[in-house]
A and B are shown apart, each in its own frame.
Chain A
């Protein structure tokens, strides 16, 4: 997905076992850390796991990224980007 020339990479993590959602999100944030920091990409995590709705934003902020959380239907979308 592209938005204002910034690539948004989506990950649908719905239905997964705990704590896969957070671990996958952490792995992807670390893997794409440089591109995230210079604003080339944003990461969008879709989840229905109530725990990771809180833990992904908390961990991402601790890593210095900006986080927006939005509820869409039965799931939540967590957008991680540079500040």
Chain B
């Protein structure tokens, strides 16, 4: 096997294991952060996510200034359209109903949660369903596109990111200084081996930075869900698969910053760059979380839960999978990658995510959990 391929696979796998381990220990559930804001009027978990975004913002900009980031803005982040907000809205509903986001469902599954495994199966199914509506959705995306050629907020005003990022970093520095001083960032924990969410936020920011430098992109996994759907379809419905335009797309095209290897990839049933980067990341997250729970002797496959909750996880997963292609991309990509460089797509995704999580919380509390 090519040395560049081995390098990418191993790097992604290590990043995945580290993320899975940290997320399991801190229960860094992004779906829960948004859900609890509406369900319990609690911002304490969301604060850790804001910290993660703020630290990533500063780290990414420092890395850019020192020349560690070869492609800026990174590949796959494009110009905005209203589809980003609609996708974020639908994604928000799905992640709350599924009981975890695209990564949350993975690390929970890794620790033995059967209900999260159902959510992951839903994610693959939803990504596959998107391929059926892609031609219509692609027209909607094109018709609602704006600021063509502009990817980040500073690009709209033709300025360097430095002044904007500096101001935002300064504001967050003052905010979090106050939070830490008043003890708002520290949580009383009873679970064995807990990592404080604020520590997890900082560690995950560094993982995002390492991914950006070594892989050339921040963490992202959802195209691999669509790829999994395409592999399954290629076995059972290969003739139908051949007619789906979505699976012929190859949106990922760039040269790997460290090895210089030209990388091309998309959702189709091929072992391409997406498979090389995202599959090891996914397996890494599952294994990292499984390792963490095994070390704590907490790993247990437990399937007993009300049918209503299984349905919610499955439907939530499908909605989330569908939305992650409509948006395009998921919360991890946008919140841990796009937002720190002020990607317009990511800002629009976040705008949709809040009302989506609100609606998801209402459905969850009134219909699912009785």
Do A17 and B29 touch (CB < 8 A)?
Answer: no
Taking CB atoms, residues of chain A closer than 8 Å to B99 are 17-18
Contact of B24 among A50, A54, A57 (CB under 8 A): A50
Expressed in whole angstroms, the minimum distance between the Cβ of A61 and any Cβ of chain B is 9
A14's nearest neighbour on chain B, judged by CB, is: B302
Taking CB atoms, residues of chain A closer than 8 Å to B303 are 15
Do A18 and B32 touch (CB < 8 A)?
Answer: yes
Do B190 and A15 touch (CB < 8 A)?
Answer: no
Q: Which of A19, A69, A76 has the most CB of B within 10 A?
A: A19
- The verdict on A14 contacting B304 (CB below 8 Å), with A20-B309, A50-B27, A73-B297 known, is yes
Does A53 count as interface, using CB distance less than 8 angstroms? yes
Do A54 and B189 touch (CB < 8 A)?
Answer: yes
Does B253 count as interface, using CB distance less than 8 angstroms? no
Name A38-64 residues within 8 Å CB distance of B: 48, 50-51, 53-54, 57-58
Do B32 and A54 touch (CB < 8 A)?
Answer: no
Does B46 count as interface, using CB distance less than 8 angstroms? no
Tell me how many residue pairs across A and B have CB atoms closer than 8 Å.
78
A68's nearest neighbour on chain B, judged by CB, is: B190
Contact of B369 among A20, A58, A76 (CB under 8 A): A20
Docked pose: A58 CA to B312 CA in angstroms: 27
- The verdict on A48 contacting B29 (CB below 8 Å), with A14-B304, A15-B113, A17-B313 known, is no
Docked pose: A76 CA to B299 CA in angstroms: 13
Do B191 and A53 touch (CB < 8 A)?
Answer: yes
- Chain B, interface size category, equals 35 or more
Expressed in whole angstroms, the minimum distance between the Cβ of B201 and any Cβ of chain A is 16
Do A16 and B29 touch (CB < 8 A)?
Answer: no
A18's nearest neighbour on chain B, judged by CB, is: B99
Does B3 count as interface, using CB distance less than 8 angstroms? no
Docked pose: A18 CA to B108 CA in angstroms: 10
Docked pose: A20 CA to B192 CA in angstroms: 21
Docked pose: A19 CA to B300 CA in angstroms: 19
Does B100 count as interface, using CB distance less than 8 angstroms? yes
Expressed in whole angstroms, the minimum distance between the Cβ of A45 and any Cβ of chain B is 12
Taking CB atoms, residues of chain A closer than 8 Å to B302 are 14-15, 48
Docked pose: A30 CA to B114 CA in angstroms: 29
Do A16 and B188 touch (CB < 8 A)?
Answer: no
Taking CB atoms, residues of chain A closer than 8 Å to B369 are 17, 19-20, 23-24
Do A16 and B297 touch (CB < 8 A)?
Answer: no
Contact of A17 among B39, B297, B298, B368 (CB under 8 A): B368
Taking CB atoms, residues of chain A closer than 8 Å to B31 are 18
Docked pose: A16 CA to B368 CA in angstroms: 11
Does B365 count as interface, using CB distance less than 8 angstroms? yes
Taking CB atoms, residues of chain B closer than 8 Å to A23 are 39, 365, 369
22 A-B pairs in the complex with CB atoms less than 8 angstroms apart: A15-B115, A16-B115, A16-B306, A17-B305, A17-B312, A17-B368, A18-B35, A19-B36, A19-B369, A23-B369, A24-B369, A50-B194, A51-B32, A54-B188, A54-B190, A54-B191, A54-B194, A73-B297, A74-B297, A74-B298, A75-B300, A76-B191
Q: A18-B29, A20-B369 are known contacts; what are 6 more A-B pairs with Cβ within 8 Å? A: A14-B302, A16-B115, A50-B298, A53-B191, A71-B192, A74-B299
Those 8 A-B pairs whose CB atoms lie nearest each other, nearest first:
A15-B302, A74-B300, A17-B99, A69-B190, A17-B309, A53-B191, A18-B99, A50-B27
